[in-house]
A and B are shown apart, each in its own frame.
Chain A
Amino acid sequence: MNADADIYGKHRDDLIRYATTLVGPDDAPDVLSTVVLRVLSKGSLSDLSEPRPYLFRAVLNEARSTLRRRRPQWTSSEEDSVSESRPDPEVLQAVLDLPARQRAATYLVYWEGFTMEETAHLMGTRSGTVKRYLHLARNRMRGALDEHWY
């Protein structure tokens, strides 16, 4: 069980951030709990040959299942001022409107800085598909930015 606590401790901060970008801060702990409990109810995290990609994929799947029931929950806040990079509410909304897999791909590549191959591994797909998600997401963002800025 200590091995499980170590594995979980190593990845949990990355996973909760990932879940937050997918379903919002309110549902993120539930998504992560559900995923980890599902593994623990059957065995242990140390049984997984590659726990990190497994957990990332499971979080994305669970998040998509949550999103089928409701949209990402997000309320704006004054605390959202992150130095000079604060986006307009419309831009934030446009990102939240991206389908979950496009959000996952853009988050992992553009924020976390993973390569296409690493992102594909974490999403359980191929790098060509990741590229397609990025392309679709940028197109949608372009539309949203054009609409709000000019």
Chain B
Amino acid sequence: MSTGTDREILALRAAYAVMVDRAPAAPEFEDLQRGLATNQRPGRPLGWRPVLDRPLVRMALAAAAIAVVVVPILSSGPSAVAAMEEARGAFERLSSFSATLAGRQDGSIVGAETSPGTHVADRLFRQDLWYRGDEGWRVDIIEDTVPELSGGPGSQAIWDGNELNAYRADENSYTIADNVEGGFGPMHLLDPNNATWPIFGGDVRTSDDYFEQECRVEPDAKVAGRTTRHLSCEAGRIEIWLDVETGLVLKSRSELAEHEVTRFEFEPEFEPGTFEFIPPSGATEAEEAADDPYRQVALAPNEAAPLWEGRLLGGESPIGLSGLKGKPTLVLLWADWCEPCVMDALPRFAELHTALGDMVNLVAVDVQGSEESAAQIVADAAFTFPVVIDDGCAGCSLPGVSDAWSVESVPIWVVLDTDGVVVEVLLPRDADTDRLVFLLTNQG
């Protein structure tokens, strides 16, 4: 007689036996080489280009997460595009460095991904960085005028190749995570694939088209003693300096943000223990709050979700959760200033909207955002699902979403059943499209 666990394992094995049996032949190496020569995948007539998405190097200083977007590269183009491509290519080969960087940021850019409503003015910060690829990296906070974002001076984050240790000096506590997902790392301002967006105020203007049309290459300049390519965009409103040898963004400047590497050492000898985290005396291990979806919203599984009201984008009349009963409901909590929301969550939400149509209610709530920005995003992408603006409305008698559900971070996916009872709250990490469809279509 088999135990329950045996039964599940047997079922899994049986399923894999079928799948493995159906596996096609692997492509021939010669075909792959031919594909490389013609820049096409075997059997794919359409133009295809490799996307240089270096394993993303990110870390989680718990309160200040900025996710990363990888920009595809054109194989040729005008000089600013070529300079970006050159930088990204050099960045791919980057092995190690140590650096000190200083910066200033305004608005809801820094740390905003996990803390809607954290709007900072003139945040000044300085950090020491050590980087040895996926094997290890470290950020020490030397100075931060908005310490709630990083933990303030003395805080640090160390990735030792296996674990990420994030220490907050202001709370004398640290968290340990086994991955680097969902946070910002030493590359958050330096990676030429994504680092330019903070200076753009969260707008997605890092496409090749943008660089081709808006930017030109100035004469090379020195930053921290290093030779850099200097790009000037939008008639000098935005400037970027790219290290020729490593591709790193050593300096950037716009009205919204700026940073500059003041000390840079390429391929240094690291002191032993550089990437080893030793908890300071008296420090306590904090629970990884950011890892628990039910700490990001005041919702509990199998309990009725508190009701809220908002107004539909472009309208004034109230729309509320109470009107969404009778079908399973998917609520996406997003924000117009949150790049992962706009780049990843909304397009997938649109796919679900198309696929599931009338079977479920789908509502995307722009949490504490600006109606103007939301309207722009929706118009640009021609989204057709309902978008709720969470800034109160004249006829509303109930609180808005962010108050009713105490939303701590975005994007968050919430699945409700036909009675408005919480089925599951999902962080981006767990919100596979598969999983969402399963939860929405396998209720009761």
On A, residues with C-beta under 8 Å from B are 1, 4-5, 8-9, 12-13, 15-17, 20-21, 25, 28-30, 32-34, 36-38, 40-42, 64, 67-68, 70-72, 77, 79-80, 82, 85-87, 91-92, 94-97, 99-100, 106-107, 110-111, 125-126, 128-129, 137-138, 141-142, 145
On B, residues with C-beta under 8 Å from A are 4-5, 7-9, 11-27, 29, 32-33, 35-36, 41-44, 50-52, 92-93, 162-163, 178-179, 344, 348, 430, 432-435, 437-438
* In contact, B178 and A125 (Cβ under 8 angstroms): yes
Summarize B's interface: helix, strand, loop or mixed. helix
* In contact, A25 and B23 (Cβ under 8 angstroms): yes
Known contacts A25-B22, A110-B16: does B432 contact A33 (CB below 8 Å)? no
* In contact, B348 and A68 (Cβ under 8 angstroms): yes
Q: What separation, in Å, do the CA atoms of A32 and B24 have in the docked complex?
A: 11
* In contact, A9 and B433 (Cβ under 8 angstroms): no
Beyond A64-B432, A67-B433, A106-B12, list 13 extra A-B contacts (CB 8 Å): A1-B33, A13-B26, A21-B19, A25-B24, A38-B51, A68-B433, A71-B437, A80-B22, A85-B18, A86-B14, A95-B11, A106-B16, A107-B16
Summarize A's interface: helix, strand, loop or mixed. helix
Pairs across A and B, CB under 8 Å, 29 listed: A4-B29, A8-B32, A15-B26, A17-B20, A17-B23, A21-B16, A25-B23, A29-B25, A29-B43, A33-B27, A33-B42, A36-B32, A37-B35, A37-B36, A37-B50, A40-B32, A41-B50, A41-B52, A67-B432, A68-B432, A71-B434, A77-B22, A79-B21, A85-B14, A92-B18, A107-B12, A111-B12, A141-B8, A141-B12
Which chain A residue shows the least CB distance to B43?
A29
* In contact, A111 and B26 (Cβ under 8 angstroms): no
* In contact, A97 and B438 (Cβ under 8 angstroms): yes
* In contact, B430 and A99 (Cβ under 8 angstroms): yes
Q: What separation, in Å, do the CA atoms of A100 and B432 have in the docked complex?
A: 8
Q: What separation, in Å, do the CA atoms of A59 and B106 have in the docked complex?
A: 39
* In contact, A142 and B8 (Cβ under 8 angstroms): yes
